[in-house]
Structures are given as C-alpha cells and as structure tokens.
Structure 1
C-alpha cells in the first residue's frame, strides 16, 4: 500500500493509473477506523481496480473546538487495518496541505438539505463537509466514492454537491455497521465511558420500537413517545428525534405512501454525541 502526504504526489499516482484506464474507488475518512470503514474499503476494492482512502480530521466541520481536539487519532493502527484489506493507497495530508494558509470553509447551497437535523444543531457543519469533500474529490477524481449511511444526511448532501458541481463521480451509500448489541459503529464510541457504553444500545433499541409504530401511529405521537423514553433514561440525553422524507430530509406533515422515510436521532452519552438512523416503511392497512 502506498502512503501519500502531498496532493501533487497523489495526483501523479492517480493520473498514471487513469492513463491505464483503471477505475478508482474512494473512501474519505477521519481515521480511527473500524469495521464499518473497512467494509467500505472492501466494497471499493471489489467494484474498482484500485481502492484509495483518505485520513483527515477536517477542522472546518467541527463547531465544537474541544470535540476537534479530542477526536481520536490512531494513524499507525489505521494503516495496519488498511493493509489488511488490501487498500492500494492512503492519503494522509496535513491541515496546511489541504487549506494552505486559510482554514476557512466555502459557503454552499444544498437546496435546503443543510438546514435539517444536523444543520440545526451544528452551525456551519455542512459547509465544512462540502469544502473538504469537494477538495478531496478534485485531488483524487475517483470513479466512485463510498459513504456509510450512519451519516445519512451527509450522504444526501454529498450527492447534491456532486450534482451541483457536475463532478463525474458516482456516490454510493452503504449499510450501517453495528456492534453486536446494536450500537452504530463510530470512531467516537472509543471515547465513551464504560457506563455510557453499556447504556448506548438503548438508542438503537428505541429506534427499532419506533419503526414498529410507523404507519400505525402518526409521526407526532411516535416523536412524543421517543422523547418520553429518553426523559426516563438516567444516562442518555436526547438532542433530537425526527421522522423525515429520505429525499428532502424534511418532516412531512402528512405521510406520503409513495415516499421513503427515515428516523434520525442525536443523543448525548455524557460528553459524547452519538447519531443514528433507520429506514421506515409504512405498513399496509
């Protein structure tokens, strides 16, 4: 596996492969890799001639400086994990390499997708996401890029980014990887205390119960039920729970039987913020 730290060297490598008509599968990450990340790399490898991964903790998508400073970084272990799944190349740039002298996010218009859910609670987050993903896409110019559905809103925003910038890249979302107890895999899970780690599976259990109610009860009553469940929990604090249209990410007042819906949740387990989501299907009456 080749390791690159400079944009110019990576571009030269990619250009050489593209001259040989090789397809490039790309997985952007912030490191602290887990099985979910590795599943994306395996998929990129299976569907393309080359699998390329980036590891970069992007400062412009953090609205909380402390969260940025404490974000887990495990580069040596990440490299070993990528080698174990036959990744072809990894790009590990410095902040200066990506942003030069100005660590500032571009402003984007994602047709309103950025104002839902995460956008309401994390100021400027999706401008930061758009900035780094666009920069990485322009460096790697992959055939296809792969993202996990745990960050489903991010996935929809990246699809919109590609549509608006006319970049010739396919975007593929892949299923959420979960621990045996249901907790969605996340790099932040490593920062959970023992007590909060034991409590965290309650998030997915609640989502599954809410899913069973969908189509039987109305959306508002399901939301109220979820909020009450978390009010009773001594260790987990609900930030938001919403049921939204998968395409618009808006909470429809009336459920359209022809549309797909998804429940989105953000929860604090102590200082650690966890997100998750599940697809909802309307039951036939």
Structure 2
C-alpha cells in the first residue's frame, strides 16, 4: 500500500488508473470504515482512502482540535483491509490558501436536522467532498449510511454538478449491542458506552411502531425524546422523515427515523430506515 501526502504525489500514483474508487474519511478508523474500503474494492481499478480532518465542517465550539489523529494505526488497518493507496494531506497542502470558494447546499435539505444544530456543517462537508472528488478523479465514492443526511446531500451535489462519479451508500455497521460504529464512540467512558445502545433501541422502537401502522409521527418522536431524556441523554432531535429528501412523510412513503443526542459530552447520531 502506498501513502502519499501531496497532490503531486497523488496524481503520479493515480496516473496509471482510469477508475479510482475512493473512501473519504477523517481518520481514527474503525470496522465501519474498513467495511467501506472492502465495498469499494470491486468498484474500481484502484482502491483509495483519504484521511483528512476537515476544519471547514467543525463549528467554533466543536472538537476539531481534539479529534483523534491516528494516521499510523489507520494506515495499518487500511493495508490489512486491502486498500491500495492512502492520500493523507496536511491542512497546508489541501488548503494552501483560504478556501473562499465553497459549496452552498440547498437550505431545504442542509438546514434541517443536523444542519439546524450544526450551522454551516454541510457547507464544509460538501466543499471538502467536492474537492476530494476533484483531486482523486474518483469514478466511485463510498459513504456510510450512518451519516444519512450527508449521503443525500452528496448525491444531490454530484447530480447537479454532473460529476462522473457513482455515490455508493453502505449500511451502518453496528456493535453487537446495536450501537452504530463511530469514531466519536471513543470519547465515551465505560459506563456511557454500556448505555450508548439506547439510542439505537429508541430508533428501532419508533421504526417498529411505523411498520405496525402508527402514523402519529409527532407522538412517536415525543415518546422517544422523553425516553432518552429519562435515561440521562440530551437529545437534539428524533425525527420521522421521508427517505428521498428528509421532508415530512406521507404514510405510503419509504421513511427513515433519525436522531442526534448527547451522552455526557459526546454527541452521537444514528438512523433506521423503515
């Protein structure tokens, strides 16, 4: 496996390939990331992972500085998973001048749910993904469905810019107790980790009620929020939405239940498709 840190090195490494398949990450990898790498392998003639902690998507009081940088361990895991190439630029290499050109996603999709609680987050996400797709010349890019809203926004962005890349979504990987794998799970202390699967259980409870025909979405959301609060969580939202655009669903629509909540100082997100 080759590791490169500059755009010049990346272009040289990719010069012999026509169909790169890329997995964009911020590092601090776990089994969910490695599953994305394995899913990418049959999609291209080289499998590439990017590791870059993107300042643009962190708010002023979020965890950019303390986000774990674990490049050596990440590369060892990627090599074991069959990755061919890692692009791990420094901030100075990736943003050699202030990134004043940015992608402004539509408010109807970007300013709800995560966007409501993390203003500007999806501007940073879409901007860095567009730049990474340009740098890697990817023909396939693989993302996890845990970041459901992010995946929809990236798909919409790629379609509107007519980018020649297929965006592939992979099901959320979970621990045995149902907790969605996330780099931020490492912030949880042992007691919090034991409690963390309650978020997944709350979502599955709403999903089961929807499958049983309950259409009182507001009541289901309220019950789930109250259950989490009673258990010591500080939820931002539990919301039943339409899968295609995250707007309010009709009973016949394919739905997704999404949630974000803090357990101590750690903010977790999850979703369940219905």
Provide the TM-score with structure 1 as the length reference: 0.92
Q: 86-95 vs 220-229, which deviates more?
A: 220-229
Is 2:236 aligned against 1:239?
A: yes
2:93 maps to: 97
SS at match of 1:150: coil
2:32 maps to: 36
Match of 2:151 among 142, 155, 165: 155
Provide the TM-score with structure 2 as the length reference: 0.95
Give me the whole-angstrom Cα distance separating, in 2, the residues matched to 1:86 and 1:230.
39
**CA deviation after TM superposition for structure 1 residue 101, in Å:** 2.3
1:136 maps to: 132
1:249 maps to: 246
- Identify if the C-alpha distance between structure 1 residues 249 and 187 changes in structure 2 by more than 3 Å, giving closer, same or farther: same
**CA deviation after TM superposition for structure 1 residue 13, in Å:** 2.0
**CA deviation after TM superposition for structure 1 residue 74, in Å:** 1.1
Q: 111-120 vs 164-173, which deviates more?
A: 111-120
Give me the whole-angstrom Cα distance separating, in 2, the residues matched to 1:107 and 1:158.
11
1:173 maps to: 169
Runs of 4 or more above 4 Å deviation: none
Task: Structure 1: state its 5+ residue gaps.
Answer: 281-285
SS at match of 1:67: coil
Give me the whole-angstrom Cα distance separating, in 2, the residues matched to 1:76 and 1:109.
34
1:230 maps to: 228
1:283 maps to: none
Task: Structure 2: state its 5+ residue gaps.
Answer: none
**CA deviation after TM superposition for structure 1 residue 146, in Å:** 0.2
2:260 maps to: 266
Give me the whole-angstrom Cα distance separating, in 2, the residues matched to 1:52 and 1:231.
41
**CA deviation after TM superposition for structure 1 residue 3, in Å:** 0.6
Write the mapping of 1:47-58 to structure 2, written as runs, cut at 5 A: 47-58=43-54
- Number of matched pairs: 272
2:9 maps to: 9
**CA deviation after TM superposition for structure 1 residue 228, in Å:** 1.6
